[in-house]
Each structure stands twice: as structure tokens, then as C-alpha cells.
Amino acid sequence: MARPRNDRFLRALLREPVDYTPLWLMRQAGRYLPEYCETRKRAGSFLALCKSPQLACEVTLQPLARYDLDAAILFSDILTVPDAMGLGLYFAEGEGPKFERPLREEWEIRNLAVPDPNVELRYVIDAVAEIRRALDGSVPLIGFSGSPYTLACYMIEGGASDDFRRIKTMLYSRPDLLHHVLDVTAQAVTAYLNAQIEAGAQAVQIFDTWGGSLSHAAYREFSLAYMTKIIAGLKRSHDGERIPVIVFTKGGGLWLEDIAASGCDAVGLDWSIDIGQARARVGSKVALQGNLDPSVLFGGSEVVAREARRVLDSFGPGSGHVFNLGHGISQFTPPEAVTALVETVHAASRAAHRPESKG
């Protein structure tokens, strides 16, 4: 199957030449867009929106209709996997995600089983196929999952946490139990991402939102080791095309070299690290994705343009950069700020990709 007409995102991930730096945004279909809010209202709830392939497709395409983005990302939630494991995901108003049956007892942990993505997560796989059809070869489609450690944080805490007391108590006092949770979850994520790839995802990202909360040794043992295992089990090509893999650990700047050695094609960066320094550290081993502070988008179009150029200048000339935010876009972002960002990145990056500019 041929690459999309705009394949700059895929080429940049594989460090192939591009004529400008491609851009997409984490959480690009979200509450900052009035059209998204309308669709969500029609769905009745966030979870109902996720579980309807038609509505998930609709909101995935909304930001692409408004902005000249270089990739679409599946509209879903990382917590669909533990929900499919039987933990009972629900969203309390104003409180974020929660689980009815968090992992509290040893028997619950021992009973944890890998869901079949084509059965328990069929609605996500159907959404991938529907979105891919709707994109009609325009831009690539990104699939994703949470990392095993990040998913385990929610599964064991029962929801969001300020201190991760339950999971870290288990990590230090019963590491065998946590390793069991992570092993089963890694198998589930591998099967889930492979099903997304088979349904039409052309690149996949692993969101390790909470890996950065771990100590140096614990990050390698309880987060990175399982992401490395997943990457080794992924389909790296489908329909004759390479499927790039992005790993994004929020707060992962300390471990860039280790993440780059995981087998991924690209490392996502949060805004706390200079992208030029990151490039110097990982060399040409992987592409880099990021890493504008999402709060810059509150500063007005001149600030957005200035700070976007700062990221581009720091990365420097040549390919291997996918522009993104250092985390998901805020629901309070003015939609016009994204217009300024996309226009700046596409225009200002062209000089860095002329043949004479390449280092």
C-alpha cells in the first residue's frame, strides 16, 4: 500500500529528507476545539465518544479540517486497555478517570488476563479502520497505547494520584507482584498496538506519562524494560511499509540514551529539555519529537512564533525532527494559537531542509 500523499511525518521519523518539519499535536482532537465539544455533547459522555467508531472518527478528523497538520492520531484513551481487562473504567465529573475494581488484592493481580484486542477492544480497532478509510491517503494515522507502568499506576491507584503511594509501595515491598502486572499489561499493549497496525495505523506511540516519577534504577526496571519488550514484539512493517515507533516518557530527559537504545525510531521530549542538547546526546540513532511548552500557546501569536522558532533553531538543520508540544494541548488553548504554530513551523523550517543546509 502506498504511503500517504503527505508522508513527511513518516519520513521525518525514519530520518529521511523532508522539505519542512512536520507537525502534529498530542491531544490535537480535544476540548479546545468547539466542534469537538459539540460532538462530545452529542455522544453523551467521553467514554461513549471513545466507544463509538463513527464519532471517534469524526473528532479525529476535526483538527485536520481546521489546521494543516501532518498526521492524524486515533481518538481514544490510554485506559481502554485496563478497562478491557475488567477493571471497570468510569469518568467522575470533574475528577478524571477512575476504576471500579482497582488492583488491591494479590488474587486480583494473579487473575489479570490479556484481553483480545479484536474482541474486548473491537471498538478501537474499528475506529482505526474507519479513520484510515476517511483519511483517504491524505496524511498518516498514528495509533497509540499507554506504557505498562503508566497503565499500572491507574490500575493500582484506582485513578490519578499525586504521590503514587500504592504502586510505589508495591514496587519496593512486592516487586514480584508489580512485575506480574507489568508483564501481563505489556503483552496486552503489544497485542493492542499490533491490532491497530493491522487495522491501518501507520505509526504508533507509547505514552509513558508517569515513568518520569520513578527513581533512576526503578525507571529502567519497571518502565523502560517493558517498553523495550513491547517494541521487540511489534510489527515493524505492514503492507510493505515500515511502521515507526515513538516512545514518549514525560520527565524522561535523564534517560534519553537508554530510551534511544530501546529499539524505537523516535524519542518524544517534554519541554524541560533543550532539543539541541537532546540531539547531541542521541546523535543520529533516532528521530526526536517535540517539544514546545503547551503553555506557550496562551501567549499570543507573536510569542507562539518566537518560541516555535526557538525549538526549530535549537534542533538545527537536517531531518529527524517531528514538531510537537512537550505534552498534550490544554483545553484552554485559543484555537487561533494553533494556526499560528502550524504556519510558523511549516514556513520557518523550510530553510533548515534545503540541501545546502544539511549538516
**pLDDT value at position 212?**
96
Which domain range does residue 190 map to?
A: 45-291
Q: CATH number of the domain at 90, please.
A: 3.20.20.210
Number of domains in the chain: 1
* Residue 355: predicted pLDDT: 73
Give one word for 354, left, alpha or beta, with left for phi > 0 and alpha for psi -120 to 50. beta
* pLDDT band with cut points at 50, 70 and 90 for residue 356: low
pLDDT of residue 347: 97
Q: Considering the domain boundaries, does residue 238 fall inside one?
A: yes
In a domain, 21, yes or no: no
18 within some domain: no
Write out the catalytic residue numbers.
27, 31, 40, 77, 154
Residue 289 has pLDDT above 60, yes or no: yes
pLDDT at 1: 59
Q: Does residue 304 lie within any of the structural domains?
A: no
Predicted confidence band of residue 359 (pLDDT cuts 50, 70, 90): very low
| Residue 2 scores a pLDDT above 90 | no
**Phi–psi pair at 100, nearest 5 degrees:** -70, -35
Q: Flag the least confident range among 81-95, 123-137, 200-214, 332-346.
A: 81-95
Which residue carries 494541548 as its cell? 329
For 102-125, what is the mean pLDDT?
97
- Give residue 215's pLDDT: 97
The three-state secondary structure class of 275 is: helix
Cell, residue 329: 494541548
Residues 287, 329: contact at Cβ < 8 Å? no
Q: What is the pLDDT of residues 45-103, one digit of tens each?
A: 999 999 999 999 999 999 999 999 999 999 999 999 999 999 999 987 777 899 999 99
In a domain, 281, yes or no: yes
Say if 319 falls within a structural domain. Answer: no
Q: What is the pLDDT of residues 24-45, one digit of tens each?
A: 999 999 999 999 999 999 999 9
Q: Within a domain: residue 354?
A: no
Q: Is the pLDDT of residue 174 over 60?
A: yes
Cα R_g (the chain), whole angstroms: 19
User: What percentage of residues in the chain have a pLDDT greater than 70?
Assistant: 99
Give yes or no for a contact between 228 and 188, defined as CB atoms under 8 angstroms apart: no
**What pLDDT is attached to residue 95?**
78
Quote the pTM value: 0.97
Q: What is the pLDDT of residue 140?
A: 98
Q: With bands split at pLDDT 50, 70 and 90, how would you rate the model's confidence at 333? A: very high
Q: pLDDT by residue (tens digit) across 294-319? A: 999 999 999 999 999 999 999 999 99
The 10s digit of each residue's pLDDT in 239-280 is 999 999 999 999 999 999 999 999 999 999 999 999 999 999
Confidence band (pLDDT; 50, 70, 90) for 357?
Answer: very low
- Residue 154: pLDDT over 70: yes
CB 337 within 8 A of CB 306: no
What's the helix, strand, coil split of the chain in %, to 5? Answer: 50, 15, 35
Residue 35 included in any domain:
no
* Nearest CA among 302, 315, 314 for reference residue 341: 302
Q: What is the mean pLDDT of the chain?
A: 96
